[in-house]
Structure 1
Amino acid sequence: MKKTFIGSSLLLLPLSIVILLSGCNSKENSAAAADSLKIKIADINTNPTFRVALDKGIFAKHGIDAELVNFGTPAEGVNALFIKQVDVAYGADFPLLNAVAKGDYSIIASAGLATDEAATEWKLFVSDDIQKPGDLLGKKLSFMRGTFLPYLWDEYLKENNVALKDVELIGQGAFDEAFIALKQGDVDAAWFSGSALVDKFEGLKGVHELTDMSKTTVRLGMGIVTGNELLKNNPEGIKNFLAAVDEAATYITSHKEEVANLMYKEVKQPKEATLKDLPNNLWEVGFTQAAFDSLANQKKYMVSAGIIEKDFDLVAKLNLDPLKKALPEKVTYKK
């Protein structure tokens, strides 16, 4: 009996340790969950960065409980901040400035892309009766509402001695809408980006590519924006979010085939389109003097055009503290 009792005790000892450790792990997991930041992120179907961070567990690794909310354009995602549909959004300088001009929001990082190479991704497609910029006179020109495209049109037309008042700008909600409008002749010209969409024009009768944005003076800066309340309440979480986005961007550079497979699986974007787009659309999280200058130039245009009704201090709308803590070497801008 005694021998049996000792044997049972020895068998029970590991079990008790397992139960104890399980209890500890449960508490640790609960603590980790409590410390994680739940965040809704505005995204679009052609952007792989957030999807990679989510799919590869990079967000989870950094304590971010992320949910992606899809929109037709990044500008729509930025606008969703106003109704608290999302917590964080990204977009070109134009919608970012529009957001910070209207409310209690801050730009927390740049995501790069203000390069000649990235500018080549924006193609101007026109009807066949338009063979040179001067032929745009009196035509209907498409733009995506809330985006930088009116600025691009303004600059492109000025560079080619066509006045904005001598064309008709037609606001649309998404690129697919613009594609159909151009195909049907409801508009005469439209800018498009992304190989999956641009490739649709191959063999399309009555439409051809006239130019691309790299042949203009416009370069597209891009950044990330969030509400000041979230920044105030979760500075560590925002720091971790930015670190995760940077890690995902780095991951993409050396795993392009894997990313192309993921984009096909998630949104049915053809692999070849992703592989074609990636080299010129890689994110670089940080903030440089060039990023600030891009924002400043865009703001100057928006104020002068009356798009921003009341001017504001751009520096006051930057909150780079979480970024400086997450990626200090990538913040080279100085006030």
Structure 2
Amino acid sequence: MATFDIMNPQISTVAKGLEGKVITVYGGNNLGKTKQATRMKKPLYFPFERGLNAIAGVPYFPINSWADFKKYNKALTKDPAKVKEKYNTIIIDEVDAFAKYATRYVANQYGVDRIKDGNEGFGLWKEYETEVWEEINKLIGVGFTVIFIAHAQPNKEGKIFPKGDKRVLAPVIDNSDIVVYLESNGVDENNQVIKSSAWLAETENAFARSRWDYIDTFIEEYTAENLEQAIITAIERQEEEEGFAAVSFEDFQESQQSEDLDYDSLMAQITEIGTQLHEDDRAEEVTEIVERNLGAGKKVGQATKKQVEVLTVILSELQELIEEDSE
């Protein structure tokens, strides 16, 4: 188990480029949401709705169920370093349909027709939230550029927001580094569609936002290239204004790591320290720590691999006993 010094925390960093960034793009129909997303670097498209009908040459896997997505997501995230040789950008199109697939899966999982019928009428909302959160967290945690595409919908006051179930929108929006709202520019004098514009900050009419203080808040002509350049420029401006150097995504990801939660290693360390404490006639204290964390009458040997976080707490408390002996 890794040790730490509370007086020497890690210092936050900012990663260069689009690697590891999460982007939500939303707006009305025919504004270029899907087309521009598929022009990002090395895309892989997940069509929860049929967005490729007029776009050729895009790598994708068909989605006919939530189980399909879980299967693909597991394959993507099992060995991300290898997979990223082929794909950089993962596109989820679109959020509301994504939620409907998850709803159906959870209802079927618990043998009911609708989410609200589960748990004897109390609903399966928590189970549904957890299911969605786990898959999103898995996907965004390994360094792909992830793009969520959503439709637009006005609220009661007329302000425009991404459309979708709040239990899915919350983890999508909360994890997005940027939420882009697309606005139509109509047609020109020859009745040709003018490319849409993009808002990267909230206006009176629509929700949008960015984590970068120095980003241009409006893109006149929305394209994949212009969006990427806006993000890169924002990071460069932040470097200049705040006097730091952005790091590679690999260095950024390394800085986010905490202790290694390896089950076998934790069990070995607990056994070693526990044995030492028993020899020092501190068996009662060991038992108290174990039962406080695992439950009355429980032993460390009964802990499962799903309880690795609990095992880290037990190990930390046992280490404190050892440190008391050495003082």
| TM class, shorter-length | under 0.3
Higher RCO (CA < 8 A, seq sep 6+)? 1
> Would you tell me which structure has more helix in proportion to its own residues?
1
TM-score (norm 2): 0.24
TM-score by length of 1: 0.24
Structure with the higher strand share, 1 or 2: 1
